[in-house]
Amino acid sequence: MTSFEVKEHVQDDAQAASAQVAQAWVIDTNIVLDLWLFEDPATIPLRAALQSGAISHLATASMRDELARVLTYPHLMKRMAKSKIQAQDILNRFDEHLLAAEPAAKAPFTCKDPDDQKFIDLAVAHAVPLLSKDAAILCMKKRLFQSGVVLNPSAIPAL
pLDDT at 5 > cutoff 90: no
- Give 123-156 pLDDT, tens digit per residue: 999 999 999 999 999 999 999 999 999 999 887 7
Name the residue among 116, 75, 67 with its Cα closest to residue 92.
67
- pLDDT (mean) for 85-103: 96
Say what the pTM is: 0.83
CA dist 61 → 25, 93, 103, 121, 155 (Å)? 15, 15, 8, 14, 27
Question: Amino acid letter at 94?
Answer: F
- Residue 113, C-beta contacts closer than 8 angstroms, at least 6 positions apart: 134, 136, 137
Calculate ∠ Cα 90-94-100, nearest 5°. Answer: 155
User: 55 pLDDT exceeds 80?
Assistant: yes
Look up the CATH superfamily of 22-146: 5'-nuclease (3.40.50.1010)
What is the side-by-side order of every strand in the sheet holding 55-59? 98-100, 55-59, 23-27, 130-131
> pLDDT tens, 7-16?
333 334 444 4
